[in-house]
Amino acid sequence: MPFEKLGLMADLQRAVAAQGYVRPTAIQAQGIPVILQGRDVLAGAQTGTGKTAAFTLPMLQLLNQRKRPKGSAGKTPRALVLTPTRELAAQVGDSVATYGAHLPLTSAVVFGGVKINPQKDALRRGVDILVATPGRLLDHAGQGSVDLSAVEILVLDEADRMLDMGFIHDIRKVLALLPRRRQNLLFSATYSNDIKRLADGLLHSPAMIEVARHNTAAETVTQHVYHVDKQTKRDLLIHLIDQGQWFQVLVFTRTKHGANRLAEQLNRAGIDAAAIHGNKSQGARTKTLAGFKDGSLRVLVATDIAARGLDIDRLPHVVNYELPNVPEDYVHRIGRTGRAGEEGAALSLVSDDEVKLLRDIQRLLKKTIPVRPAPAYEPRVLAAPQRQAVEKSAAGKPRAAKPGGGRARQHAADSPAGARQRRRRKRQRPASGSAR
């Protein structure tokens, strides 16, 4: 189905064509017509499926067709898009500007980590569409620099991530500033009980759109696991990058300190790398991300806070240097590759202390992630029965590995029969200095 069949106006079709897009993705084909009808929407789609355009295009058309409600100030936002991270806010803002290039609508993006006064100036001039992170939006509301009383359309993008990051209280504060009558669009890559509760209290008779099974990765992403000793993870990563001649690699760690340390170690190994995380200034994050996108930076080491909003065209490789503590974060991490129908590869380096995390991820995905051998880097203690238990965990309750080898002999030695055998050997042992 081409875009013109979705009911989009000519100016939007022209903007879409200028980006080289001919056919809509599944979430766009299902979501755009429903949103144009003015209905609330609960949409589930993996990252990289084109969901930003799925709400941006119809939102632009609806605002362009409607006149401002009587009594509303000409400078107040008519649409509000909430995102969990600065990077995602900037990405959505770019999409709004790109697709709305031929429309007389204005937009602004506000997030923390940068000076607030230029944002105040933009809001004072007036905007139709405001893209924001919750914290900075509440800062503006508290200082009287934004009025949300005329919002007609509310979009919660990456709603699951906002809840994971503890934004539920900020979201409720924002909702209290909005008019009761409005159109609500909730987009989430994963579903949880918290998301369901949020949707129940926010949406009115919503259209349910789901283009893939809950909590799954895109089929275009090839996933593999390496069982590796914790001390040799860095060496294996360097080996994979060098031997595979990878030139654009996104690597995830759990902590900011770990991201900084790994980036430094890769640079010492001759691989251009930089870290991006919440402690970096917005200027540093923007510069680093720009270098990664244009290919001048070979490896980007990131924490989960930066996982959302990293939209890199045709990113070939994602590496989980450390598995996330939350299984759903795995889906978001590997969703940075295999976007918009392109193929991608996601590799996970799993040490012994992460085996349970791997089981949890496989249980969420309801599939076993294939294991690739790396004998020179594997931990000695990861016996075959243990590995089989991990690989079978996705099918149901994980089965513990059966003891064997040295451990079995140790158990036998500790038994009563083993104790009697040791006493007999002691009685039969010749005295010191006697002939043998």
Task: Please tell me the predicted confidence (pLDDT) of residue 282.
Answer: 78
Q: How many CB atoms lie within 10 A of CB 120?
A: 16
pLDDT by residue (tens digit) across 323-357?
999 888 888 888 888 776 678 899 999 999 999 99
What's the confidence (pLDDT) of residue 331? 84
Widest CA span in the chain:
112
pTM over cut 0.75: no
Cα 125 to Cα 139, 140, 147, 177: the distances in Å are 18, 14, 13, 20
List, in order of start, the domains of the chain with CATH numbers: 3-210 (3.40.50.300), 221-382 (3.40.50.300)
Strands 344-350 and 317-320, how do they pair?
parallel
Give the pLDDT confidence score for residue 389 in this predicted structure: 54
Cα separation, 182 vs 196, in Å, equals 20
| Burial environment of residue 378 by CB neighbours within 10 A (0 to 12, 13 to 18, 19 or more) | middle
State which residues of the chain have pLDDT below 70.
46-48, 68-74, 212-218, 306-310, 340-341, 380-436
Amino acid residing at 194 = D
> Residue 298 has what pLDDT?
95
Give residue 22's pLDDT: 85
By three-state DSSP, how is residue 267 classified? helix
* Alpha helices (H) in 82-225, listed in sequence order: 86-99, 117-125, 134-142, 159-164, 168-175, 193-202
Alpha-carbon span 244 to 225, nearest angstrom:
16
pLDDT at 175 (0 to 100): 96
What is the pLDDT, as a whole number, of residue 415?
43
pLDDT at position 354 is 96
> What is the 8-class DSSP label of residue 310?
-
Q: What is the pLDDT of residue 396?
A: 54
